[in-house]
Amino acid sequence: MFQPTLDQMKAIDLQSSAATHCMLYGGSRSGKTFINLRSILVRALAHRSRHAILRYRFNHIKASVIYDTLPKVMDLCFPGVAAKSHLDKTDWFLALPNGSEVWFGGLDDKERTEKILGQEYASIFFNECSQISWASRNMGITRLAQKTQLRLKAYYDCNPPPKGHWTYKLFIEGVSPDTRKPVPYADQHVAMLMNPDGNKANLAPGYLDQLQAMPERMRLRFLLGQFADDSDSALWSVELLEQSRLGGEMPDMQRIIIAVDPSGCSGDEDTRSDEVGIVVCGLGVDGKGYVIEDLSGRYGPSRWGQVVADAFDRHEADRVVAETNFGGAMVGEIIRAARPGTPFTEVHASRGKVVRAEPIASLFDQGKVVMAGYFPEMEDQLLAMTTAGYTGSRSPDRADAMVWGITSLFPALTKRERDPAHIRTTQALTSNSALKAKLRGKK
């Protein structure tokens, strides 16, 4: 049976108030989504009505809500109801025993969004609303209009985005994101901070330690639930990275690249030098670039060469791309020694890191690059990339490797948008005629 924590009891009280708009914000795994789903189901089971749960991407809501949190809420809070309910997997709504319906939608699917927004709802839950635009939120609110015995309610949850986001302006500052003037009926907008420390009774041992060990920006957001200070010049934001996160299965790859950003590191004990950036990137059959694996670390030359060779075989890669500004022919020799015959392309940067990174950030913004997992160290470096320069400590080796990898997967980008780096494909790395024919066919 459901045993609410102290924070969860406070959240339930907040949502039982007369306020129409209730936001739960804070760190990761703090129980925000669980409580919002519970509130939706309490209302749906109390009176026959219709409700909507919306998120930026439908794949994400299917994986994290429909197939994960929702069954847990049903089992713990409403035992026996699930057996009498029906999940329609064509239109994606849950039909409850009393005739109520809970609809699920992703705002990235225009056709599906139009279908969902063609109905009226007694309550709407904006899940992970830091990823949802102000315009999309407003469009959703126009459908909060079903006339029932229930008060109209809008629920929100998020890991706090930067302070420029509409959630901070509306719920924390109490001003309109459009006009910056005080919101009319301010008491209709309430918010509560929920952090994982208040939910540790329901967390796996060691989870809080993992959050504590995260890079500073991510620790403040996912452990302490703090809104980040704005950086108008940042190339990437936490929201952009979250929007780019893979929500389902990864498609087949038509090309895979191992990208390397070498350093002068001599091994694990060498804390004076930067890490060696090693990132696996792929071009999916859907035409999108995928960041698949981050293998960066403090390696000596022979060790990083072997890491690259192992990744090449494991992913059945097509080519290794490595920056050779400071390594020259040595970089190629390390790769050849670890795996003879490896197709290898040298890239030589003639302009700065930010200039190279800007078109890649643009691809993220267009939804053309997908993060196939969580890469905390790399993501922290991306968040420190600004139009004024890199603001992080040391070198953005992981981010650099990713940028080279994604750039190499988009030939048009190479020609039109990125800096005019000198690129030379190393010749005579293999005598395998079949491999040569394969590579010619991919060009």
Residue spans of the domains in the chain: they are 6-222, 239-442
Report pLDDT for 348: 75
Please check the confidence at residue 264 and state whether its pLDDT lies above 80.
Answer: no
| 158 DSSP β-pair partners | 25
Report the alpha-carbon distance of residue 66 to residue 71 in Å, rounded: 7
Report pLDDT for 237: 85
Report pLDDT for 57: 84
Q: Which of 48-62, 108-122, 348-362, 408-422 has the lowest mean pLDDT?
A: 408-422
Please check the confidence at residue 268 and state whether its pLDDT lies above 90.
Answer: no
Q: Which of 213, 54, 60, 175 is nearest to 124 (CA)?
A: 54
Give Cα 401 to chain centroid, integer Å. Answer: 19
* pLDDT tens track for 98-142: 999 999 998 877 777 788 888 999 999 999 998 888 888 999 999
DSSP state of 64: I
- Which residues are CB-contacts of 277 (< 8 A; sequence separation ≥ 6)? 259, 260, 261, 262, 263, 296, 397, 398, 399, 400, 401, 402
Confidence of residue 209 (pLDDT cuts 50, 70, 90): very high
Report the alpha-carbon distance of residue 60 to residue 58 in Å, rounded: 5
**Three-class secondary structure of residue 394 per DSSP:** coil
* pLDDT tens track for 132-175: 888 889 999 999 999 999 999 999 999 998 887 899 999 999 99
**CATH number belonging to the domain at 239-442, selected among 3.30.1330.10, 3.30.420.240, 3.90.79.10, 1.20.58.100:** 3.30.420.240
Domain 6-222 fold is Rossmann fold (3.40.50)
Report pLDDT for 350: 61
Please check the confidence at residue 351 and state whether its pLDDT lies above 80.
Answer: no
pTM of the model: 0.65
Confidence of residue 393 (pLDDT cuts 50, 70, 90): low
Report the alpha-carbon distance of residue 237 to residue 370 in Å, rounded: 14
230 versus 331: the higher-pLDDT residue is: 331
Q: Which of 32, 31, 59 is nearest to 244 (CA)?
A: 59
